Amino acid sequence: DLYIALLAVKGYVEMYEGKLNKKTVNYNNFRQSTHAIMLLFTMATIAFYVAIWPAFGWQSVPIMTILGYGILLQFALLVPTYVQNIVGFVLMTFFLQQYA
């Protein structure tokens, strides 16, 4: 649920305000949204650690590092934001159907 909220804020800022209302998306224009995204991302990361800790123990730390820096950061840097939003929506819909 935290990641869905994160995608909702991200989609609102980038797609609605940035594309439809033609606002420049930067920290000065969206300070509160940026802080909300950082808080939601931190909470989602902690929830993921709590979820995988019983199965993997201390191996959770390298797993999260590899996932964060090896996959998510590269995806965020190399893929345009509209593709990120579509992929995020599709993956979250899939995971909600599988695990809800």
Greatest C-alpha distance within the chain: 46
Q: What's the pLDDT tens digit per position in 17-39? A: 988 889 998 899 999 999 998 99
Q: What's the pLDDT tens digit per position in 45-61? A: 899 899 999 999 999 99
Reading the block at residue 48, the tokens are 């993921």
Burial (0-12, 13-18, 19+ Cβ within 10 Å), 30: buried
Q: What is the pLDDT of residue 1?
A: 73
The total number of structural domains that make up the chain: 1
For residues 65 and 56, give the distance between their C-alpha atoms in angstroms, rounded to a whole number. Answer: 14
- Residue 29 is part of which domain span? 2-99
Reading the block at residue 74, the tokens are 């590269």
